[in-house]
Amino acid sequence: QAVERGVAERLEYMRAADGTVRVETLTDGRRIEVVRRALPQGGYINRYADVTERDRAEEALRLSEERYALAARASSEGLWDWDLTTDRVYYSRRWLAMLGLTPDQVEGRPEDWFQRIHPHDADALKAALDSYLAKGSEQFQTEFRVLHSDEQYIWVAVSGVAVWDREGTGEPIRLVGSMIDISERKRAEEKLIHDALYDSVTGLPNRALFLDRIEQMMTRRAEAGSGEGFAVLFLDLDRFKVINDSLGHEVGDELLIDVARRLEGSLERGDSLARLASDEFGILLTHVATEDDAVENAHWLKADLAAAFHLRGQEVFTSVCIGIALPSAGFRTAEDMLRAADIAMYRAKDRGPSSHVVFDPSMQTRAITQLQLESDLRRAAERDEILVLYQPIVSLSTGRVAGFETLARWNHPERGLVQPADFIPFAEDNGLIARIGEQALRKSCLSMRDWMKELGSDAPDGISINLSSRQLQDPDLVRDIEVMLAHIKLPGSRVKLEVTESMIMRNPEATARTLHQLKELGVSLSIDDFGTGYSSLSYLHRFPFDTLKIDRSFVAAMEEKPENAEIIRTIALLAHQLGKDVIAEGVESPAQLRRLMELGCEFAQGFLFSHPLSEEAAGDLLRRRKRWDLAALSRGEGHAAE
């Protein structure tokens, strides 16, 4: 009735899905709810209810909630209230405090605020505000930077609502809202983004970001035609593993950081440097027109890294191998280009330390071949394709065969004999070395046992077998060797195990324990490649070695550099004082032999005496009671005197 009579001051209709119409009307100060439902047979049924009291209760609740919300906000949020008709703004104390301001520092104008907004954010803010006012959506919310009184920008999130002049112009007349400081959150977000794109050790861009930069360069080049020249360099430190193993990871990290800083110093504007993996760096050169330019750059980079690094009081030298990829090779993606540089880097590694190689597409095939080799190796261990060769170790007092070092070869069905350098590192990486090493060990021991049976006192004193780092870390190693020796009935005293310096330095305590246990089996121990790691003899006397093998590189360089002979002399002297024998490796020339004899080395091994031999040929040598005429050999007349 109220509806029909039009006495209602205000009406609100709501039509439900089932056709029910709900009408609220304010009559004589009371609020009446009318629910009108259609009847199936036609007509309506109206239900009236006085909801004044319910409304009052709701209103009271709303007010108290609002007050509560305001209070809560006031504690952490700054409030602002902008009267658009007068263009005056009220800023709450909290709002002012957030920006380090006092009430007397603001005039109560929008400019107080707007002039502090970061220039980069001002447009976006204005756009957000305009779009809100145009659409009249629920509320207005945006984030931007504002200048604090300490001259730093803080990040704030602002939300607000407009009050509209519904009866009059329909324009907004007031904007009210709050502001909170979100600098902390922004910093966390930025750190997250940073961590995803930068390496934590060196602070350099990581692989993902580097790829992105290469891609940008490729796009730019595609747009500019072939004019824009650039190159991708893949750098890998030589012998980083040795440094890491012998000096420790922390020093290793310091070296990486120093290398990064030095490389950064060598770059030009626009170039990028990235850390790709442990000791791998990428460089994007953007000022190279030709291949020659890129190669020249590689030379400079290598020269820059050649000077000593000073790490915790030690001088450390390092060098890099560099693979270079140029866009002229026609790469589809940034990944392809980086992979090409990586492949070229591996080629450079083959050429030795401090080399560089420019990628050409034929290398791709080779890289795939390597992959094939790796999968073949898995089968090699099962199919008994690993064999061992025997290189005589010659006594420098008698000229007789004192023993043999056994050297593994892989007898590949198609490729023939594969050298250890081409499969031992793979085998180390994928764990196959355990099987391969075990086979080499067993075969060597079987040969030794057979020679003892056959030749009695003409059999060599012992057989020297190389251990890999994995084998040395295997907790079952000692027991396995013990079982194997017992099984084939070979005394441990006939076996000598060779362990490299860097393998010991990796985990000195555990290694010392293993080595002592091995000694208890009666086997003797050699330290291999001595002089190539970073250990010192005084340190090494803590390990139970019987023999020290001077690395081939010292022997080879002995003639050119007198100081190498001096190093060998010192090593031999100290070794003897510690009661250890010395074996010189890689003896190739009579002059080397002469010097080594003068320096008091007990044993020598090398092509001058013999290349590694088959089991047959090694056995023949023993049967013939081979004895080298050392005097003649050191004069360069030796080979005739069989």
Residue 210 or 390: the one with the smaller Cβ distance to ligand C2E is 390
- Give me the least distance between CB of 532 and Ca ion, in Å please: 9
Answer with the entry of Ca ion, ligand C2E, none that 504 interacts with (C-beta below 5 to 8 A by kind): none
For the CB of residue 395, give the shortest distance to ligand C2E in the complex, in Å: 16
**420: partner contacted, choices ligand C2E, Ca ion, none (Cβ within 5-8 A by kind):** ligand C2E
Least CB distance to ligand C2E at residue 388 (A): 6
Report the partner that residue 606 touches, choosing among ligand C2E, Ca ion, none (CB closer than 5 to 8 A by kind).
Answer: ligand C2E
- Shorter beta-carbon distance to ligand C2E: residue 235 or 389: 389
Task: Indicate the residue among 452 and 556 with the shorter CB distance to ligand C2E.
Answer: 556
Cβ 511 vs Cβ 538: under 8 Å: no
Q: Residue 408 contacts by C-beta under 8 Å, 6 or more apart in sequence?
A: 386, 387, 388, 389, 420, 424, 436, 440, 466
* Strand order through the sheet with 44-50: 11-15, 21-27, 30-38, 44-50
Taking CB under 5 A as the criterion, the residue among 246, 406, 439, 466 binding Ca ion is 466
341 makes contact, choosing from Ca ion, ligand C2E, none, with CB < 5 to 8 Å by partner type, with none
Question: Could you say whether residue 528 binds Ca ion (CB under 5 A)?
Answer: yes
**In the complex, least distance from residue 526 CB atom to ligand C2E, rounded to whole angstroms:** 9
547 binds Ca ion (CB under 5 A): no
Summarize as ranges the residues that interact with ligand C2E (CB under 6 A): 391, 407-408, 419-421, 424, 437, 440, 466-468, 498, 528-529, 552, 585-588, 605-607, 612
Give me the DSSP letters along 324-387: EE-GGG--SSHHHHHHHHHHHHHHHHHH-TT-EEE--THHHHHHHHHHHHHHHHHHHHHTT-EE
Interacting positions 256-275 with Ca ion (CB under 5 A)? none
Which of 24, 254, 498, 615: binder of Ca ion (CB under 5 A)? 498
SS3 content of the chain, % helix, strand, coil (to 5): 50, 25, 25
- Check if the beta carbon of residue 34 is closer than 8 Å to that of residue 22: yes
- Our finding on whether 501 is near Ca ion (CB under 5 A) is no
Q: How far is the CB of 402 from ligand C2E (least distance, A)?
A: 15
- 42: which 2 tokens? 């036609």
Least distance from C-beta 588 to ligand C2E, angstroms? Answer: 4
Site track for Ca ion across 573-592, x = CB under 5 A: ------------x-------
Q: Which of 282, 286, 285 is nearest to 207 (CA)?
A: 282
CB of 587 to ligand C2E, least distance (A): 6
Quick one: 403 or 606, whose CB is closer to ligand C2E? 606
432 binds, among ligand C2E, Ca ion, none (CB under 5 to 8 A by kind): none
Give CA–CA dist 596/435, Å, rounded.
37
Write b or e for each residue in 217-230: b if 16 or more Cβ atoms lie within 10 A of its Cβ, otherwise e.
bbeeeeeeeeeebb
- Separation between Cα atoms, residue 369 and residue 492, nearest integer Å: 41
| Nearest distance in Å: CB 415, ligand C2E | 15
Q: Which CB, 206 or 532, lies closer to ligand C2E?
A: 532
- In the bound state with ligand C2E, the residue whose beta carbon lies nearer, of 202 and 634, is 634
In the three-class reduction of DSSP (H, G, I as helix; E, B as strand; rest coil), residue 416 is classed as strand
- For every residue of 488-547, DSSP letters joined together read HT--GGGEEEEEEHHHHHHSHHHHHHHHHHHHHTT-EEEEEEETSSS--HHHHTTS--SE
Tell me if 529 contacts Ca ion by CB under 5 A: yes
Which two tokens mark 111? 């400019």
Q: Which is nearer to ligand C2E, 67 or 561 (CB)?
A: 561
Q: Which residues pair with 358 in a beta bridge?
A: 324
> Over the Cα atoms of the chain, what is R_g?
41
Decide whether 107 or 350 has the Cβ nearer to ligand C2E.
350
| DSSP 8-state class, residue 145 | E
Of 297 and 524, CB closest to Ca ion: 524
Burial class (CB in 10 A: 0-12, 13-18, 19+), 323: buried
Q: In the bound complex, what is the minimum distance in angstroms from residue 427's beta carbon to ligand C2E?
A: 8
**CA distance linking residue 476 with residue 478, whole number of Å:** 6
Least distance in angstroms from the C-beta of 465 to Ca ion: 9
For Ca ion, which is the closer residue by CB, 279 or 528? 528
Site residues (vs Ca ion, CB under 5 A): 466, 498, 528-529, 585
